[in-house]
Amino acid sequence: MSDSFTKLIPSIVSLAAYGAALALFAIVLRSIPVGIAYAIWAGAGIVLITLVGWLWFKQTLDLPAMLGLGLIIVGVIVVQGFSQTLHH
């Protein structure tokens, strides 16, 4: 929507969202190892931005895309639920 940062309002929203994401990520790093935190952050980001594309921009997903996203979701659940490296 920012059209390569040429539209002011969507560009500001994008930059603010990136700043908030990095600030929240820094807070998470106080209690979760960086490798695990980054894996969860990246996986969640992929799934969430795909949902935004599907719902907001009406982008379609084929079966391999849905399977891949499902595997990412399962991976995040496994790490969150069973990893001994996290401090629950």
pLDDT (tens digit, 9 = 90+) per residue, 31-81?
888 888 888 889 989 999 999 999 999 999 999 999 999 999 998 888 878
Residues 80, 72 contacting (CB under 8 angstroms) = no
**Could you state, in order of their start, the residue ranges of all structural domains in the chain?**
1-30, 32-88
Reported confidence tier of residue 3, pLDDT bands at 50, 70, 90 = confident
Q: What pLDDT shows up at residue 2?
A: 82
81 burial (CB, 10 Å; 0-12 / 13-18 / 19+) is exposed
pTM of the model: 0.71
Q: What pLDDT shows up at residue 86?
A: 65
- Quick check: 85 pLDDT over 80? no
